[in-house]
Amino acid sequence: MNKSILHLDLDTFFVSCERLINKELIGVPVLIGGTSDRGVVAACSYEARTYGIHSAMPMRMARQLCPHAKVIRGNSQAYSEYSNTITDIIRERSPLFEKSSIDEFYIDVTGMDRYIKTTYLWAKELREEIIHETKLPISFGLSTSKTVAKVGTGEAKPNNHIQIETGYEKPFLAPLSIKKIPMVGNKTYHLLRRMGIERVRTVQEMPPELLERVLGKNGIAIWKKAQGIDNTPVVAWSERKSISTERTFEQDTTDVYTLKSILVGMAESLAYQLRNSNKLTSCVSVKVRYSDFQTHTKQKHIPYTSLDHTLIETVKDLFDKVYNRRVLVRLIGVRFSNLVGGSYQIRLFEDSFKMIKLYQAMDKLRGRYGEDAVKRAQGMRARHVKQMNPFNGQMDGAIISPKPEVRSQKMIRGA
């Protein structure tokens, strides 16, 4: 039996949410992201795209291209609420679905045509229900694999739908730009263009060994996707609510500098895990347990992020508020919750394009040489051992606190 995979994607999700809140934004160019000149465009309307604006573009450049665009910092709480409403609708009606990001879903509808007239009709009814309940535009592609369904959604936009039936996957993909294939980023695209490859049809006609010599294993994967071959399953979605770490001291302490140093190391480690797993958080919590076992926790809601400097400052601020007894501390912990899918390269509300580039470079070094390759000086008082990353099941760094009485005169301070 051929698979039947449905891919749904909300059109310009953040912009569409803002237009429900403010009707004056309908029909005008809208930019969402950092509002200063150093900011980054997180999302833009179709009207803004006609000026050459795209996500991840510096806000200063976007404003130059479209001076009359409406610039909005965004409303993370509203976006989450709309996303949760849509998730509930899909959960109620779907046999198996995967939420790949805040505004994107896969549904495995294989075999449903035994019980309904057609899966395509069912998908149209689901889309209509989502539009009726939320008033948000949404597009979908229905085909035999995740790859073809996702590409189909892109071709159906804006606010439309398409079905690519069994046997028509290759003809559908053939005339499209090679950049439409998932896994083909800017760097790979420019490399393929230098090879004279512009359309998917060319890749379909090439021997896979040639792409493998140029791109390694990724070359084989791209060749298969160009053929419409993708056996990646829809993974049953269960929302992970939070990620956390905490440490109990071998000896209780009131050394505030050591406590803050360990908290910085914890926040830095958790933030890297978020970015490495394409996750964002909007709620930060700090826990302090005293020697008499009394435990105090304080949390704060922030715009969605996975960047160290924002999370570290929030953690330190929460610690200053929660640690008020001035007695021996037995345990401290950090927790990030309200997690959603999202990539830090396209930051929702951060104000620094250069900061994003810095994090990309730092994470590249960590990925190559290990998590300890780049660390903040203040967080160096926490050394790392191996523990399980809750997102991927692999071993990552965990924070182990130093004995509070051990203080090095060579330790860098004040970072």
Determine which helix (DSSP H) or strand (DSSP E) holds 333, and give its type and residue range: strand 329-337
Return the exposure string of 273-296: e unless at least 16 CB atoms fall within 10 Å of the residue's CB, then b.
bbbbbbbbbbbbbbbbbbeeeeee
Q: Where are the beta strands (DSSP E) in 60-202?
A: 70-72, 97-101, 104-108, 138-143, 161-163
Closest listed residue to residue 50, CA positions, set 68, 37, 25: 68
Distance (Å, whole) CA 50 – CA 28: 11
Give catalytic residues, as residue numbers.
Answer: 104
Distance (Å, whole) CA 334 – CA 284: 7
The answer to whether 396 is a known ligand-binding residue is no
- Output DSSP code: residue 155: H
Say whether 348 sits in a helix, a strand or coil. coil
Distance (Å, whole) CA 322 – CA 24: 43
- Output DSSP code: residue 199: B
The answer to whether 317 is a known ligand-binding residue is no
